[in-house]
Amino acid sequence: MKRTGFLGIDAGTQGLSVIFTDDELRILAAGEAGYGMVPGLGGECYEQDPADWERALAAAMADLRRKLSALGVEPDVRAIGICGQMHGEVLADELGRSLGPARLWCDGRNEAEGHELTERLGTKMPKRITAARWLWTIRNRADVAMKAAHLTTPAGWLAFRLTGGWTLGIGDASGMFPIDQSALDYDARLLAGFDALVHAAGGGRSIPPLRDLLPQVRRAGQDGGSLDGHGASVLGLPVGTPVAPAEGDQPAALTGSLIGTAGTVSMSFGTSVVANAVGDRPFTGIARSVDHFCAPDGKPINMVWLRNGTTALNAVVEMFGRVDGGGRGDGFAAVIPQLLAAPDDCGGLLALPFMDDEPGLGVSHGGSASVVGLNEKNATPGNVARAMLLATMFNLRLGSEPLDAQKFPRSEIILSGGLAKTPALGQLLADVFNAPVTILDGGVEGTAWGAALMAKYRSLAIAGRAPDWAAFLTGHASGTPTRFTPRLQSVAKQ
């Protein structure tokens, strides 16, 4: 039976997934395929072969079709959405041929270039931003840089391979180079400053202006191209199928959480922690803890990112879980109830969860977590686990203080990720930030679903029926969210 709907593609760091939804964006089936890093690289070096992404896409589509066939469904795709890991550096020559492995968001070789660009250009340029990677390549791989005619991201590369066009969604583009909010395009003044730095002292004369290398910027609903012959053969879909502008994983995750209104903050706790706040205006100045990119419609996003997420908490939970006889995997069931029952002050314990570098605090290398203040009365699983979790939450609040200083709105926090599997933990977050916390029930967390949403929005735009972006997202909310409001007595103790 033919079913119309939308295809969402998500190229992550460890693998690729595709989903097919119906017209109402209910997921009918998903396909997956994996890939790895280029082997044998040194420390802080992370590269992947772009050809692996395309092979994984074909394999994931085959997996998806098998699952749909088992359901008796033949997909009739109205539009395609693509998202992928941000900040990567994919280089191609004038014929569109890859110039070798892509350096990924987690590659740390260009930290010095990020600091240099921040100082020279007067705007935040984190080491993850693609422009810092490109400056490193110019200086360290000049033979490759001189052959480059195109510079894009993993999502942008897949979009090129499927459509033949060099375009990119504004969110992913903002992870390559800063966006001018008035023009909703790359900042022309900063581009001139970058080129001047490259050509200083006679260097880089054979390198074209950065603007000539970057993909064209597109916003949600705008033309991201359509499947050409090669793209149609990879996906097994008709030539001419519309493609939404390819986006980064963070903008796609915001989309998947139905976040588009200024003052709404998306928070996700995992190995790392991310708080993405939709702004009502651009950020002023430079804050070490705050990065900046754009939502798919171009709204400014202020991101506070912690490298130290729940790793220390997980270690504590696993340790006490084994002691309690829960065993690995059951530790959370044994310890989390004790965490929730522990007092607000954790019995006087103070935890420092820094097991890795921490950009917002200027810590470049990792260490070991610690707990201070243990005695025979407070050394309980609940106190220690609660202290570790609260330390991470307070680290996030500390990183958010520059936003508070500029009076950016924080009307609601949307909590997603692993922490949301224990909804009661949302109360701790509400108390720490003194803000309402919502855990969505009907909204599907996931970047692939965010990509499918962008595909639907592109389809509506083609038909001339696309509403305002924020209204479009709100219109897809369903279910009964779980909500927490700050407890005044707990807030007063923070």
Tens of pLDDT, residues 204-215: 668 999 999 999
Q: Are 490 and 434 in the same domain?
A: yes
Q: How many CB atoms lie within 10 A of CB 326?
A: 17
What CATH number did the domain enclosing 43 receive?
3.30.420.40
Q: Are 151 and 66 in the same domain?
A: yes
Please give the Cα distance from 295 to 245 (Å, whole number). 12
- Domain-embedded: residue 157: yes
Q: Are 300 and 166 in the same domain?
A: no
- Domain-embedded: residue 168: yes
Residues 76-99: pLDDT tens digits? 999 999 999 999 999 999 999 999
Question: Residue 446 corresponds to which tokens in the numbers above?
Answer: 């996931």
Partner residues linked to 79 by β-bridges:
6
Instruction: Name which residue leads in pLDDT, 197 or 491.
Output: 197
Residue 357 pLDDT:
76
Is the predicted pLDDT of residue 443 greater than 70, yes or no? no
Please give the Cα distance from 259 to 168 (Å, whole number). 20
Residue 420 pLDDT:
82
Is the predicted pLDDT of residue 318 greater than 90, yes or no? no
Q: Are 141 and 98 in the same domain?
A: yes
Q: Are 220 and 279 in the same domain?
A: no
Is the predicted pLDDT of residue 444 greater than 60, yes or no? no
Instruction: Name which residue leads in pLDDT, 301 or 364.
Output: 301
- Domain-embedded: residue 324: yes
Residue 24 near residue 95 (C-beta atoms within 8 A)? no
DSSP string, 276-330: EEE-SS---S--TTEEEEE-TTS-EEEEEEES--SHHHHHHHHHHHHHTT--TTT
- Domain-embedded: residue 459: no
Is the predicted pLDDT of residue 68 greater than 90, yes or no? yes
Q: Are 245 and 290 in the same domain?
A: no
Please give the Cα distance from 38 to 181 (Å, whole number). 37
Residue 368 pLDDT:
84
- Domain-embedded: residue 99: yes
Is the predicted pLDDT of residue 493 greater than 80, yes or no? no
Residue 455 near residue 78 (C-beta atoms within 8 A)? yes
Residue 491 pLDDT:
67
Is the C-alpha dihedral spanning 93, 95, 97, 102 positive or negative? Answer: positive
Residues 2-23: pLDDT tens digits? 999 999 999 999 999 999 999 9
Residue 328 pLDDT:
46
Q: Are 131 and 264 in the same domain?
A: no
Pick the last residue of a domain from 222, 249, 276: 249
- Domain-embedded: residue 399: yes
Residue 327 pLDDT:
47
Closest CA to 477 of 251, 257, 302: 257
Pick the last residue of a domain from 187, 216, 249: 249
Residue 156 pLDDT:
98
Distances (CA, A) of 411 to 257, 262, 274: 16, 8, 17
Question: Residue 418 corresponds to which tokens in the numbers above?
Answer: 């692993």
- Domain-embedded: residue 463: no
Q: Are 354 and 245 in the same domain?
A: no
Out of 65-74, 322-331, 417-426, 471-480, give the one with best mean pLDDT. Answer: 65-74
Mean local confidence (pLDDT), 419-424:
85
* Mean predicted lDDT score pLDDT of the chain: 92
Residue 153 near residue 214 (C-beta atoms within 8 A)? no
Residue 43 pLDDT:
84
Pick the last residue of a domain from 214, 249, 284: 249
Is the predicted pLDDT of residue 105 greater than 70, yes or no? yes
Main-chain dihedrals φ then ψ at residue 32, nearest 5 degrees: -140, 155
Number of domains in the chain: 2
Mean local confidence (pLDDT), 246-265:
93
Residue 127: strand, helix, or coil: coil
- Domain-embedded: residue 11: yes
**What range defines the domain where residue 28 resides?**
2-249
Residues 115-166: pLDDT tens digits? 999 999 999 999 899 999 999 999 999 999 999 999 999 999 999 999 999 9
Q: Are 303 and 412 in the same domain?
A: yes
Q: Are 97 and 173 in the same domain?
A: yes
State the helix-helix crossing angle for 381-399 and 311-323, rounded to 10 degrees: 170
Q: Are 489 and 385 in the same domain?
A: yes
Q: Are 126 and 6 in the same domain?
A: yes
Residue 479 pLDDT:
76
Could you tell me which residues come within 8 angstroms of residue 156 by beta carbon, excluding any fewer than 6 positions away?
90, 166, 167, 168, 172, 215, 246
